[in-house]
Chains A and B, each alone.
Chain A
Amino acid sequence: EDQVTQSPEALRLQEGESSSLNCSYTVSGLRGLFWYRQDPGKGPEFLFTLYSAGEEKEKERLKATLTKKESFLHITAPKPEDSATYLCAVQDNYGQNFVFGPGTRLSVLP
Protein backbone atom coordinates (compact mmCIF):
# COMPACT_ATOMS: atom_id res chain seq x y z
CA GLU A 1 0.00 0.00 0.00
CA ASP A 2 1.31 3.44 -0.95
CA GLN A 3 2.17 5.66 2.01
CA VAL A 4 3.25 9.28 2.35
CA THR A 5 4.52 11.03 5.46
CA GLN A 6 5.51 14.67 5.82
CA SER A 7 7.67 16.45 8.35
CA PRO A 8 7.62 18.61 10.25
CA GLU A 9 3.90 18.75 11.02
CA ALA A 10 4.18 22.51 11.55
CA LEU A 11 6.97 25.03 10.99
CA ARG A 12 7.29 28.64 12.04
CA LEU A 13 9.90 30.78 10.28
CA GLN A 14 10.90 34.40 10.43
CA GLU A 15 10.66 36.26 7.15
CA GLY A 16 13.85 35.57 5.20
CA GLU A 17 14.73 32.42 7.16
CA SER A 18 15.19 29.60 4.63
CA SER A 19 14.19 26.01 5.42
CA SER A 20 13.10 22.70 3.90
CA LEU A 21 10.00 20.53 4.14
CA ASN A 22 10.26 16.76 3.82
CA CYS A 23 7.99 14.26 2.08
CA SER A 24 8.87 10.58 2.52
CA TYR A 25 7.07 7.97 0.47
CA THR A 26 6.66 4.23 0.01
CA VAL A 27 5.22 3.27 -3.34
CA SER A 28 5.32 0.30 -5.68
CA GLY A 29 6.76 2.08 -8.68
CA LEU A 30 6.58 5.85 -8.60
CA ARG A 31 4.73 7.42 -11.53
CA GLY A 32 4.85 10.94 -10.15
CA LEU A 33 5.25 13.03 -7.00
CA PHE A 34 3.23 16.21 -6.68
CA TRP A 35 3.49 19.25 -4.42
CA TYR A 36 0.52 21.47 -3.65
CA ARG A 37 -0.04 24.54 -1.53
CA GLN A 38 -3.34 24.95 0.31
CA ASP A 39 -4.68 28.06 1.98
CA PRO A 40 -7.35 27.66 4.71
CA GLY A 41 -10.79 26.83 3.30
CA LYS A 42 -9.54 26.64 -0.29
CA GLY A 43 -8.63 23.89 -2.71
CA PRO A 44 -4.99 22.81 -3.13
CA GLU A 45 -3.02 24.83 -5.66
CA PHE A 46 -0.60 22.91 -7.86
CA LEU A 47 3.10 23.71 -7.47
CA PHE A 48 5.32 20.98 -8.96
CA THR A 49 5.39 17.52 -10.48
CA LEU A 50 8.53 15.36 -10.24
CA TYR A 51 8.86 12.09 -12.09
CA SER A 52 12.32 10.65 -11.48
CA ALA A 53 15.07 10.66 -8.87
CA GLY A 54 17.45 13.55 -9.33
CA GLU A 55 14.85 15.81 -10.86
CA GLU A 56 14.57 19.38 -9.55
CA LYS A 57 12.04 22.14 -10.26
CA GLU A 58 11.96 25.76 -9.18
CA LYS A 59 9.36 28.47 -8.95
CA GLU A 60 10.10 31.82 -7.35
CA ARG A 61 11.26 31.06 -3.77
CA LEU A 62 10.42 27.36 -3.97
CA LYS A 63 12.55 24.46 -5.18
CA ALA A 64 11.47 20.83 -5.17
CA THR A 65 13.86 17.89 -5.35
CA LEU A 66 13.30 14.14 -5.56
CA THR A 67 15.23 11.04 -4.48
CA LYS A 68 14.13 7.40 -4.55
CA LYS A 69 12.63 7.65 -1.07
CA GLU A 70 11.82 11.29 -0.42
CA SER A 71 11.24 14.74 -1.77
CA PHE A 72 12.19 18.10 -0.32
CA LEU A 73 10.54 21.45 -0.79
CA HIS A 74 13.14 24.13 -0.16
CA ILE A 75 11.89 27.60 0.66
CA THR A 76 14.43 30.38 0.20
CA ALA A 77 13.97 33.72 1.96
CA PRO A 78 10.26 33.12 2.63
CA LYS A 79 7.71 35.91 2.91
CA PRO A 80 4.52 36.01 5.02
CA GLU A 81 2.47 35.25 1.90
CA ASP A 82 4.18 31.85 1.71
CA SER A 83 2.27 30.84 4.85
CA ALA A 84 0.06 27.88 3.93
CA THR A 85 -0.18 24.11 4.27
CA TYR A 86 2.08 22.29 1.83
CA LEU A 87 0.85 18.91 0.65
CA CYS A 88 2.73 16.18 -1.10
CA ALA A 89 1.09 13.35 -3.06
CA VAL A 90 2.30 10.29 -4.96
CA GLN A 91 0.88 8.35 -7.86
CA ASP A 92 2.05 4.80 -8.55
CA ASN A 93 2.45 2.84 -11.77
CA TYR A 94 -0.56 0.63 -11.12
CA GLY A 95 -3.35 3.05 -11.83
CA GLN A 96 -4.11 3.89 -8.25
CA ASN A 97 -5.13 7.42 -7.48
CA PHE A 98 -3.15 10.04 -5.65
CA VAL A 99 -2.17 9.30 -2.06
CA PHE A 100 -1.69 12.48 -0.07
CA GLY A 101 0.49 13.13 2.94
CA PRO A 102 -0.89 14.92 5.99
CA GLY A 103 0.79 18.20 5.06
CA THR A 104 3.17 20.67 6.69
CA ARG A 105 1.61 23.83 8.06
CA LEU A 106 4.04 26.68 7.40
CA SER A 107 3.81 30.05 9.13
CA VAL A 108 6.15 32.87 8.08
CA LEU A 109 6.26 35.72 10.55
CA PRO A 110 7.08 39.30 9.44
Chain B
Amino acid sequence: KAGVTQTPRYLIKTRGQQVTLSCSPISGHRSVSWYQQTPGQGLQFLFEYFSETQRNKGNFPGRFSGRQFSNSRSEMNVSTLELGDSALYLCASSQGTSGSGDTQYFGPGTRLTVL
Protein backbone atom coordinates (compact mmCIF):
# COMPACT_ATOMS: atom_id res chain seq x y z
CA LYS B 1 0.00 0.00 0.00
CA ALA B 2 1.43 3.38 -0.97
CA GLY B 3 2.15 5.76 1.87
CA VAL B 4 1.18 9.38 2.31
CA THR B 5 2.55 11.57 -0.46
CA GLN B 6 3.15 15.29 -0.36
CA THR B 7 3.97 17.70 -3.16
CA PRO B 8 6.06 19.63 -3.70
CA ARG B 9 8.88 18.46 -1.46
CA TYR B 10 10.65 21.81 -1.45
CA LEU B 11 9.46 25.36 -2.02
CA ILE B 12 11.12 28.75 -1.90
CA LYS B 13 8.87 31.80 -1.77
CA THR B 14 9.22 35.46 -0.88
CA ARG B 15 7.36 37.42 1.75
CA GLY B 16 3.84 38.39 0.76
CA GLN B 17 3.36 35.54 -1.70
CA GLN B 18 0.95 32.69 -1.19
CA VAL B 19 1.57 28.95 -1.42
CA THR B 20 -0.48 25.78 -1.85
CA LEU B 21 0.70 22.41 -0.59
CA SER B 22 -0.85 19.10 -1.54
CA CYS B 23 -1.30 15.82 0.32
CA SER B 24 -2.57 12.44 -0.88
CA PRO B 25 -3.49 10.11 2.00
CA ILE B 26 -3.09 6.36 2.21
CA SER B 27 -5.79 4.62 0.19
CA GLY B 28 -8.88 4.13 2.33
CA HIS B 29 -7.94 6.80 4.86
CA ARG B 30 -10.53 9.53 5.20
CA SER B 31 -8.86 11.84 7.72
CA VAL B 32 -6.04 14.21 6.85
CA SER B 33 -4.27 16.37 9.42
CA TRP B 34 -1.69 19.07 8.82
CA TYR B 35 1.17 20.05 11.09
CA GLN B 36 3.87 22.70 11.09
CA GLN B 37 7.28 21.69 12.41
CA THR B 38 9.97 24.17 13.37
CA PRO B 39 13.11 23.71 15.49
CA GLY B 40 11.81 26.07 18.18
CA GLN B 41 8.16 25.00 18.41
CA GLY B 42 8.25 21.35 17.47
CA LEU B 43 5.23 19.75 15.82
CA GLN B 44 2.17 21.99 15.98
CA PHE B 45 -1.29 21.00 14.79
CA LEU B 46 -2.81 23.15 12.07
CA PHE B 47 -6.12 21.48 11.15
CA GLU B 48 -7.85 18.21 10.42
CA TYR B 49 -10.24 17.30 7.64
CA PHE B 50 -12.55 14.32 7.50
CA SER B 51 -15.02 13.68 4.69
CA GLU B 52 -14.38 17.14 3.25
CA THR B 53 -15.22 18.87 6.55
CA GLN B 54 -12.81 20.64 8.87
CA ARG B 55 -13.06 18.83 12.21
CA ASN B 56 -10.43 20.56 14.31
CA LYS B 57 -8.30 23.65 14.02
CA GLY B 58 -5.13 24.60 15.82
CA ASN B 59 -4.09 28.01 17.04
CA PHE B 60 -2.88 29.52 13.76
CA PRO B 61 -3.92 32.76 12.04
CA GLY B 62 -6.52 32.80 9.30
CA ARG B 63 -3.76 33.05 6.67
CA PHE B 64 -3.52 29.28 7.03
CA SER B 65 -6.41 27.44 5.40
CA GLY B 66 -7.13 24.07 3.93
CA ARG B 67 -9.63 21.92 2.17
CA GLN B 68 -10.30 18.29 1.38
CA PHE B 69 -11.66 16.82 -1.81
CA SER B 70 -14.08 13.94 -2.29
CA ASN B 71 -11.17 11.55 -2.94
CA SER B 72 -9.71 12.53 0.48
CA ARG B 73 -6.80 14.41 -1.05
CA SER B 74 -6.13 17.63 0.81
CA GLU B 75 -4.52 20.98 0.17
CA MET B 76 -3.37 23.66 2.54
CA ASN B 77 -2.86 27.27 1.59
CA VAL B 78 -0.83 29.96 3.26
CA SER B 79 -1.46 33.52 2.11
CA THR B 80 0.66 36.61 2.65
CA LEU B 81 3.72 34.60 3.63
CA GLU B 82 5.90 35.79 6.50
CA LEU B 83 9.50 34.85 7.30
CA GLY B 84 8.25 32.91 10.33
CA ASP B 85 6.26 30.58 8.09
CA SER B 86 9.47 28.85 7.04
CA ALA B 87 9.04 25.30 8.30
CA LEU B 88 8.52 21.66 7.44
CA TYR B 89 4.83 21.13 6.73
CA LEU B 90 3.68 17.61 7.44
CA CYS B 91 0.52 15.85 6.43
CA ALA B 92 -0.77 12.77 8.23
CA SER B 93 -3.62 10.44 7.36
CA SER B 94 -5.69 8.03 9.41
CA GLN B 95 -8.74 5.87 8.84
CA GLY B 96 -10.90 7.55 11.46
CA THR B 97 -11.17 11.03 12.88
CA SER B 98 -9.19 12.48 15.75
CA GLY B 99 -10.32 10.95 18.99
CA SER B 100 -10.92 7.60 17.33
CA GLY B 101 -7.60 6.21 18.54
CA ASP B 102 -6.50 5.49 14.99
CA THR B 103 -2.82 5.88 14.22
CA GLN B 104 -1.76 8.80 12.06
CA TYR B 105 0.76 8.03 9.31
CA PHE B 106 2.91 10.88 8.10
CA GLY B 107 4.13 11.92 4.69
CA PRO B 108 7.68 13.09 3.96
CA GLY B 109 6.78 16.76 4.37
CA THR B 110 7.14 19.91 2.31
CA ARG B 111 10.07 22.14 3.24
CA LEU B 112 8.94 25.76 2.79
CA THR B 113 11.51 28.54 2.87
CA VAL B 114 10.30 32.14 2.90
CA LEU B 115 12.86 34.76 1.88
Chain B residues with Cβ below 8 Å from A102 are: 42
Contact mask for chain A residues 7-39; partner B; CB cutoff 8 A; 1 contact, 0 none: 000000000000000000000000110101000
B43 with A87: CB separation less than 8 A: yes
Chain B residues with Cβ below 8 Å from A98 are: 33, 45, 98, 104
Q: For the complex, count residues of B whose C-beta is within 8 A of A.
A: 27
B107 with A43: CB separation less than 8 A: yes
Q: Which of A87-104 contact B (CB under 8 A)?
A: 87, 89, 91-103
Shortest distance between the CB of B53 and any CB in chain A (Å) = 13
Q: For the complex, count residues of A whose C-beta is within 8 A of B.
A: 27
- C-alpha gap A29/B61 in the complex (Å): 28
Q: Which of B12-57 contact A (CB under 8 A)?
A: 33, 35, 42-45, 48, 55-56
Shortest distance between the CB of B42 and any CB in chain A (Å) = 5
A43 with B56: CB separation less than 8 A: no
Shortest distance between the CB of A44 and any CB in chain B (Å) = 5
Chain B residues with Cβ below 8 Å from A97 are: 33, 45, 48, 56, 58, 98
A100 with B42: CB separation less than 8 A: yes
Shortest distance between the CB of B34 and any CB in chain A (Å) = 10
Chain B residues with Cβ below 8 Å from A95 are: 55-56, 97-99
B108 with A43: CB separation less than 8 A: yes
B101 with A99: CB separation less than 8 A: no
**Least CB separation from B4: chain A residue:** A43
Shortest distance between the CB of A85 and any CB in chain B (Å) = 10
B98 with A96: CB separation less than 8 A: yes
3 residue pairs, one from A and one from B, having the closest CB atoms: A95-B99, A43-B106, A100-B43
With A31-B101, A44-B43, A46-B105 already in contact, 17 other A-B pairs whose C-beta atoms are closer than 8 Å? A31-B99, A32-B101, A36-B106, A42-B108, A43-B4, A43-B107, A45-B106, A46-B103, A46-B106, A49-B103, A91-B99, A94-B99, A97-B33, A97-B98, A100-B35, A100-B44, A103-B42
In the complex, 8 of the A-B residue pairs with CB atoms within 8 angstroms, ordered by the A residue number, are A43-B107, A43-B108, A46-B106, A49-B103, A92-B99, A95-B97, A100-B42, A101-B42
